[in-house]
Amino acid sequence: MTAFFRSEARFKFFSNKRKWLITLLLIGGIFVRLFLLGVIPPGLNQDEASIGYDAWALLHYGIDRNGCHNPVHFISWGSGQNALYAYLSMPFISLFDLNPFSVRILNALLGCLSLVIFYLLVKKIWDEDTGIIALFLLTISPWHIMMSRWGLESNIFPFFILMGSYLLLLSLERSSFLPLSFLVFAISLYSYGTAYFFVPVFLLVISLYLIFYKKIKITTFLLSGGVFLIVALPILLFVVINIFQLNSIQTSWFSIPRLPAAPRFSAVSSIFGSQFITNSIYNLGNFLWLLFVTQNDGLIWNCIPEYGYMFLFSTPFLFFGIFHLIRENKGGRKFNSQFLILAWFFVATVMAFVTTININRVNVVFLPVICFIAISISYIKRNARLFFRYVIVLYILFFGLFTYTYFFVYPESVSSAFFESLDEAIQYATETSTPDEPIYVTSKINMPYIFILFYQKIDPHLFCESVVYSDPEAPFRWVESFDRYLFGMQDDRFSGHIYILHNSEPDFFDNPNFVVKRFKNYSVAVKKE
């Protein structure tokens, strides 16, 4: 009897230990995703400014910067930008006003919520130990931390696939979750262009698998498919309109625009272009090299090279996890929910055939990748406890180094890519000038007009009425001017009164006719009276 109680007490202790560990991981994960969110990365990326301004314009005026009423997809630069992030950001912009924090908080919160859902999904497919290990790996993942901390529309795509997949698992026990799962998958189509390929293929593969093993009823599947088609119809019409150059659609609720330039989804996908086979092989090779070897696409906002996306030493664990999972599902003689993760990974890999590679376009692959690593480490835990401890210590050590680098070194490295201090320069130029005085803005800024719109909260009607494009049908339309702002100064150098400059432009700093107010990366030159 005494032994029994001792055993029960020991069980409760370890059970509580697990709960405390999960709580600690969640607190740590939330902290590292929210800490100094509005200032690291410093400044604002042009895509963040684009999403944020369009969300603000829709919130206050009911139109985006191109004058479209509640568009299902933004015209944005000319070749389009996905709209879901902006719509979901509107409550936060309403609450916190328009600033880097209000644009980023949506992504950060979805990143935090992903920790919980990912743990529940892995736990449900495997066991609690593997779920905790998966939670640990996602909590400390450089890819997921960096992705969660800035407002790019593609960054929310993995969350919706994760949420849809978890609901799909729940539907195996309660069929009413299946329509909800398909609803989430349909919503994900509005998050990023690569979803147009991934979601239909993934759902087809999984649905056929579930139907084959009689895990879902045909009637439930048809109902769920109907929900998917209804919700997805506007974005499907958008794709059709822009592939076949049809007229835009306007309704009292929303609009489906025809883009003035070739749609961005056709530019990033080889399936819409010539030399499909050659491009596809090249894309896949780049994908595999990036995933298994370099863990670096060369974009500073996606990766700190010395750490990679999931720490460089994780590659052997990744290989073993894939091998182990394939071996476990060999033959497919009986149903196994692990197939969901395998299908997710392989459809994402196939997607690499049809898209030019950077991490933003294939980011949906990383959650199954972390699953594979978790499977490997869980296997080590069961069979080599001492080695397991060394592995965990190694991950904790590198997470500590990564965290230090990200918060104390990385801000300086990424400062120019996020146009740090441009907001100060814009504010100073506005305060120094009269309301009708022209302000010239350097061309050494990527799409400089969007930062003026964002930081000055310009009425979108004013922008639409006054904007002049150098090439209105270009995929990335250069704005020559709008209202009193003129962009690009090659022909107007020194003729104006106020200039917003990059600090690398020495002519103004050496000109005795101007007084220069210098900020970190940008300056304002004001002509002397």
77 by DSSP, 3-state: which? coil
Residue 255 scores a pLDDT above 50: yes
Same-domain status, 128 and 193: yes
Same-domain status, 301 and 364: yes
Residue 6 scores a pLDDT above 60: no
Whether 415 maps to a domain, the answer reads no
Residue 5 scores a pLDDT above 80: no
Whether 251 maps to a domain, the answer reads yes
Whether 34 maps to a domain, the answer reads yes
Decide if 322 contacts 338 (C-beta within 8 A). no
Whether 417 maps to a domain, the answer reads no
Q: What is the largest distance, in Å, between two alpha-carbon atoms of the chain?
A: 95
* For the chain, percent of residues with pLDDT exceeding 90: 78
Whether 98 maps to a domain, the answer reads yes
Listed residues 369, 389, 410: the one ending a domain: 410
Listed residues 410, 443, 472: the one ending a domain: 410
**Which residues span the domain enclosing 515?**
422-527
Same-domain status, 43 and 186: yes
> How many other C-beta atoms can be found within 10 angstroms of the C-beta atom of residue 477?
22
Same-domain status, 183 and 205: yes
Same-domain status, 234 and 345: yes
* For the chain, percent of residues with pLDDT exceeding 70: 93
Q: What is the mean pLDDT of the chain?
A: 91
What amino acid is encoded at 36 in this protein?
L
Lowest mean pLDDT, pick from 3-7, 26-30, 525-529: 3-7
Task: For residues 364 and 341, give the distance between their C-alpha atoms in angstroms, rounded to a whole number.
Answer: 12
What is the DSSP pairing of strand 439-441 with strand 468-469?
unpaired
Task: For residues 244 and 252, give the distance between their C-alpha atoms in angstroms, rounded to a whole number.
Answer: 24
Whether 416 maps to a domain, the answer reads no
Listed residues 384, 410, 436: the one ending a domain: 410
Number of residues that this document lists for the chain = 529
Amino acid 4: pLDDT: 44
pLDDT band of 7, cuts 50, 70, 90: low
**Residues 62, 68, 70, 75, Cα dihedral to 10°:** -130
Residue 303 scores a pLDDT above 70: yes
- Report the pLDDT averaged over residues 304-316: 94
- Report the pLDDT averaged over residues 430-436: 92
256 by DSSP, 3-state: which? strand
Residue 266 scores a pLDDT above 80: no
Task: For residues 330 and 339, give the distance between their C-alpha atoms in angstroms, rounded to a whole number.
Answer: 10
Q: How many domains does the chain have?
A: 2
Same-domain status, 151 and 42: yes
pLDDT band of 190, cuts 50, 70, 90: very high
Same-domain status, 402 and 475: no
Residue 514 scores a pLDDT above 50: yes
What is the DSSP pairing of strand 485-487 with strand 479-482?
antiparallel
What proportions of the chain, in percent to the nearest 5, are helix, strand and coil? 60, 10, 30
Decide if 393 contacts 399 (C-beta within 8 A). no
For tokens 């640990």, name the residue. Answer: 136
- Report the pLDDT averaged over residues 77-104: 97
Same-domain status, 268 and 394: yes
